[in-house]
Amino acid sequence: MEGLYFYWWAWVIWIYATFLQKKTNERTRLAAAMLLLICGSIYKIKIGSFSITYSFLFLFLFSLAAVRRQMSGLLLLSSLAVAFFSASVRLLAIADPIVVWADERWLLAIGTTMLVLFIERKPTMRILATVIGSCQGDIVYAVAVHDVFSSLIGSLFFFDALALTGALLFGWSVLEHLPQYIDEKQLKRNKPL
């Protein structure tokens, strides 16, 4: 079922932001963004001969606005690498479906995660490179297959792969910060009274 991973993670993030985070403006923006992504995922707009979901437009434009001040060559490189990777995996799945031996969403998520982890160091830059690159890759894929069949830009398949990638990046970030957290707990426990 397409959209399962996306809806599940979007609701988890919304519940966390709404009920578990401290009351700040960041929390409100995150909760509103998640609701906009969930609501806009089923509505589409036609631009030329392409159909694009509102969620895709919101996510792509928001990420581009977020990086306009801190755009670097490394972020450009990593987002282009993610775009080429995601478009090539999806095109390969059409040309030779035997090569895709597992669920295509998981292959995209694992490959994109490894690619971004190799290139970017900061977690926020990893997320931005993933979102921008995945959006660009979906656009490239839709343009490449446009003459053969129509493809919705920002489909639930796209959001599933993006949600899985985000979950894998979050898990990696937790693993990166786990030793520091354990050291802090150990120092507090051994602190003299």
0.85 exceeded by pTM: yes
For the chain, what is the radius of gyration of the CA atoms? 18
Q: Is the dihedral of CA 81, 139, 59, 110 positive or negative?
A: negative
Average pLDDT for 79-85: 96
- Is residue 60 within a helix (H) or strand (E), and if so which, with residue range? helix 54-67
Which of 165, 175, 154, 173 lies closest to 79, judged by CA?
A: 165
Condensed to tens digits (0 to 9), the pLDDT of residues 58-74 reads: 999 999 998 887 778 88
CA distance 56 to 155: 8
Condensed to tens digits (0 to 9), the pLDDT of residues 97-130 reads: 777 788 899 999 999 999 999 999 999 999 999 9
- CA trace torsion 97, 98, 101, 106 (10° rounding): -20
Give 23's DSSP letter.
S
Residues 6+ apart with CB under 8 A from 157: 2, 104, 105
Q: How many helices (H) and strands (E) does the chain have?
A: 7, 2
**How many CB atoms are located within 10 Å of the residue 116 CB?**
26
